[in-house]
Amino acid sequence: MNKTYLPGILAMAAIVVASNILVQFLYGQWLTWGAFTYPLAFLVTDVMNRVYGVAAARRVVLTGFIVGVICSFIGTKIMLEGDGFTYPAVTLRIAIGSGLAFLTAQLLDVAIFDRLRGGAWWRAPLASTLIGSSLDTAIFFTVAFSGALTFVEPGNDVSWAGEMLPLLGVGPIAPLWVSLGFADWMVKLSLALLALVPFRIIVGSLTARTT
């Protein structure tokens, strides 16, 4: 393994582990804490892509995916107790949704960034993160909570996520998981804009070291 990529790999691994844990805890009514940590994965990917190229970015993504799969598998074996019930720390649907969403969205981010890298400095990271984040949210929440995919894990009762409520409490009637996904998506879009600042600073610092 190229030691130059090690900080990016470690950062991605830490983000994936933290997000897999925090996605299980609600912040308010519509968000999980994971919504605030997971978008940092796109920042790591884009920094690696800009400074070290496509191959390095893909290596970091694949490492993050492997770490995520291992952590999710371990989580499915850890049993928790609450309200008289025993349940896994991570359900199979969440594990599958998380892994599929991460790999698909991150690899798309890498491809879009590479296509746009010749333009203004902010265009590639902003466009790739916005599109990647949108795909990530759609895949994860659909796989993890949609009633149409109950067959993936029949023993996992996600009927609570299908409760019909006003979107974010004020909009048209929709399943609860749609509100959770929509809120998650809005946070990711906001953080994509904010991440341009550390992206610029980190890339400038790393570029100066390599020249």
pLDDT digits (tens, 9 = 90+) for 1-38: 566 777 888 888 888 878 877 777 778 788 888 888 88
pLDDT at position 1 is: 52
Tokens of 199: 């992206």
Instruction: Enter the DSSP assignment of 141.
Output: H
At 17 the pLDDT is 78
- The pLDDT assigned to 124 comes to 95
- Model's pTM, two decimal places? 0.86
Question: Helix 54-77 to helix 40-52 angle, to the nearest 10 degrees?
Answer: 150
Average pLDDT over residues 42-53: 93
- Quick: pLDDT tens for 52-107: 999 999 998 998 888 878 877 787 777 777 666 676 767 788 888 888 999 999 99
Distance CA 50, CA 81 (A): 45
- 3-state DSSP call for residue 153? coil
Instruction: Quote the crossing angle between the two packed helices 196-210 and 40-52, to the nearest 10°.
Output: 30
What φ, ψ does residue 103 adopt, rounded to 5°? -65, -45
139-193 pLDDT, tens digit each: 999 998 888 888 888 888 888 888 999 998 888 999 999 998 999 999 999 999 9
55, 120 contact by CB (below 8 A): no
Question: DSSP class of residue 23?
Answer: T
**Contact 42/106 with Cβ under 8 angstroms?**
yes
Domains of the chain: 3-210 (1.10.1760)
